[in-house]
Homo-oligomer: A and B are copies of this chain.
């Protein structure tokens, strides 16, 4: 038998030509987003002022399984895809495990992460519709970089509201976003009504993804020809990210492998939703039963400690309500938390799948995550993003369990990005100044304060 190579590359023709929507195979669909004013499910006309029209269709269509990838998006995909599937032989050796560990590496583009997969689509549709610009937010900076890159490619002006904690800690993230021609504003800012309100209430705040979303949405809906763009959580984003899983499955199939366990880190759920897509299809259709594990930070544990309820997607309470696992839209994660994965909620699709038992979730403290990241980088010559390192930690722990049980399971995880802009966090880990933070139950409850919607719409 031929030894499986380290890197399994598909050829260009094997880049999928359609995205796959997991919702099509779900017997019980995720609950619809609600208009907070009417408490009715949102309609296309509610969303078209916010998103490009084709994206609104993708957001609301729960029935269609495959959506053709437009030629313009394929042109950009071909510049950096297919991404490699890598057999982590060295990590296996370092762990002395009988498990077979594979990872899909999505960090091999300038933006340094999988986020470009959806950014390409969102910028393309904005161009196609003749929009004059996009506004977005970014936390750790991966999404802002990706969308700036895609907007530069398609020639779309972009304003990025960057969570102030990241803006200050990661000046080089700001630089790279600007080098692609986008405008970067620290959030909360005085440029929006929402930002001024948050600053008035909490002058010292270092911001949150929820605040930045409020500002970006406000900018988009108050600027002629602008629309809003979001890098995670939304159904459309999970749809675009399915390219990760479709490629991963094609590559795994080509070497006769099927994963027993599939792992992804989860903030809003974009890379996890991507890597699992075709395997979740199999599971939903009863054709296989792989374990699927979402990995989140202990400091922002929406799946493992949040409530499954209707909540706003932003801190300013300007968005529709989504039914999801949430820590409350008022929750702002500790500034000591190093990586991304700082969102108070979770993709409604993934929330529903978790709620219905198709998925597990686990939370890790960050020093455990960086321990895994450093070991991985030495073994596999890739410096992982802190976000992605959550998945590495879980994959390692599964592989260690295999060693104990003597089982040779096949583990697949998504390495969603690289850590080149996270050296400050790596430095803190090396210097042992990194601390772990686990919010108390009382702190978690604070996030829900002042959100009547939660009470009104809360479900069992």
Contact = CB atoms under 8 A, between A and B. Distances in A.
Interface of A: 5-7, 9, 11-13, 76, 78-80, 89-90, 108-112, 116, 149, 152-153, 171-172, 175-176, 178-181, 374, 377-383, 418, 420-421, 423-424, 426-427, 430
B179 A149 contact: no
A79 B6 contact: yes
B377 A78 contact: no
B9 A179 contact: no
**Secondary structure of the A contact surface, majority rule:** helix
Contacts of A172: 172, 420, 423-424, 427
Contact of A382 (B90, B110, B380): B110
Nearest to A153: B378
A180 B378 contact: yes
A426 B152 CA distance: 16
Given A5-B78, A9-B9, A383-B110, A378 B152 contact: yes
Given A5-B78, A78-B6, A79-B90, A382 B109 contact: yes
A381 B78 contact: no
A430 to B, nearest CB: 6
A430 B426 CA distance: 27
A380 B79 contact: yes
Counted per complex, copies of this chain come to 2
A383 B78 contact: no
Nearest to A179: B426
18 contacts: A5-B13, A6-B12, A7-B12, A7-B78, A9-B9, A76-B381, A90-B153, A110-B382, A110-B418, A111-B381, A116-B381, A152-B378, A153-B379, A153-B381, A172-B427, A175-B423, A176-B423, A176-B426
A172 B421 CA distance: 9
Contacts of A181: 378
B180 A377 contact: yes
Nearest to A146: B381
Contacts of A80: 381
A125 B148 CA distance: 44
A247 B420 CA distance: 27
A109 B427 contact: no
A383 B110 CA distance: 5
Nearest to A111: B381
Contact of A430 (B9, B178, B420): B178
A186 to B, nearest CB: 16
Contacts of A7: 12, 78
A46 B112 CA distance: 45
A396 to B, nearest CB: 17
A433 B430 CA distance: 34
A388 to B, nearest CB: 13
A338 B11 CA distance: 37
A276 B76 CA distance: 30
A104 to B, nearest CB: 15
Given A12-B5, A110-B377, A426 B175 contact: yes
Residue among A112, A180, A423, A430 with the highest chain B CB neighbour number at 10 A: A423
Given A80-B381, A149-B378, A179-B374, 8 more contacts: A5-B13, A6-B79, A76-B381, A79-B90, A109-B382, A112-B420, A172-B172, A179-B430
A135 to B, nearest CB: 20
A5 B12 CA distance: 6
A424 B381 CA distance: 24
Nearest to A13: B5
